[in-house]
């Protein structure tokens, strides 16, 4: 009985080791962001002239789906890229990305951002709106 148990435990350990070693490496989706943003801007998905947020996001999703699986964008990054465009102020009247010191970026009306103690972001995308700038604009 003990021999059978030892064999089972050894096989389980070997299988667990080989399965964990076979996990694929996750792609660096953040590295693809500038190229994807450029592709969306080059398409008819203009953030500044978007008439509605939904229309802008649908257009961006179409571009992201077209790039998925190419050298520009790994297919596993598709969801992350769609979230970048969904969490933007594009197509929202008087909206800004709002940066806070103690919580994540939010898209708010510009007056509400200031009232809540936030600072308007540098870009319309939360993914890069609150990055500390060399000028110190977002540093305490």
Each domain of the chain, given as residue ranges in start order, spans 25-91, 93-123
The pTM score is: 0.73
Cα 2 to Cα 11, 102, 126: the distances in Å are 14, 56, 58
From edge to edge, which strands make up the β-sheet containing 106-109?
A: 106-109, 95-99, 119-120
pLDDT in tens, 19-31: 455 677 888 899 9
Q: Return d(Cα 47, Cα 31) in angstroms, integer.
A: 21
Note the Cα 103 to chain centre separation in Å: 16
pLDDT in tens, 80-125: 999 999 999 999 999 999 999 999 999 999 999 999 999 999 999 9
């Amino acid at each position: 009985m003990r021999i059978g148990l030892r064999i089972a435990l050894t096989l389980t350990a070997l299988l667990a080791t080989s399965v964990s070693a076979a996990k694929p490496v996750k792609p660096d989706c953040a590295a693809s962001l500038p190229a994807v943003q450029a592709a969306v801007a080059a398409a008819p998905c203009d953030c500044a002239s978007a008439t509605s947020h939904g229309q802008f996001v649908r257009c961006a999703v179409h571009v992201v789906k077209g790039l998925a699986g190419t050298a520009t964008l790994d297919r596993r990054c598709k969801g992350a890229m769609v979230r970048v465009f969904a969490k933007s102020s594009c197509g929202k009247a008087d909206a800004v990305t709002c940066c806070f010191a103690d919580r994540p970026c939010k898209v708010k009306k510009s007056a509400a951002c200031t009232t809540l103690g936030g600072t308007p972001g540098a870009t319309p995308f939360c993914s890069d709106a609150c990055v500390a700038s060399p000028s110190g604009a977002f540093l305490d």
